[in-house]
Amino acid sequence: MYRGTGINVFQQPFDNLQIGDTFFDADYGEVIWNGSKWQINDLTKRASYIEGELVTFIPYSDCVKELWENGIVKAVTPTGIRVVYHVGEGWSSYRDYTSALTSIAQLRRGWIINIKIKENDTYL
């Protein structure tokens, strides 16, 4: 059963939860009750990401922008999204770099921090 929309689902009191109940949390997206705790349901969201998409990694809620990181999706896997970070101005050859398995809950679409992709490019 759908339980609503809001924030901080992990701190919300609910009566009579059943396995499979869902809630849409503003920070985590859709979550599902697994019988003992809320679990992030990122399968649908993960499938919507594509290779080469620009993303911003935000380590935790209320994180200062100085800790955010730009990245490019290298692959979408059953366990998460593989993202390439820290390539200097080598973004156009991101496929040649090692990627990090990244939780979808920590990603935002697009680059929030402006950088150059390659020499002579305009800033995004």
Tell me how far apart the alpha carbons of residues 33 and 100 are, in angstroms, rounded to a whole number: 28
User: What 3-state DSSP class applies to 72?
Assistant: strand
- The counts of H helices and E strands in the chain are 1, 9
Q: What CATH number should be reported for the domain whose range is 45-109?
A: 2.30.30
What is the predicted pLDDT for the residue at 111? 87
75-99 pLDDT per residue, tens: 987 667 899 998 888 888 999 999 9
Residue with more model confidence, 99 or 43: 99
CA distance readout (Å), 106 to 3, 13, 26, 45: 23, 25, 13, 12
Domain boundaries, the chain: 2-41, 45-109
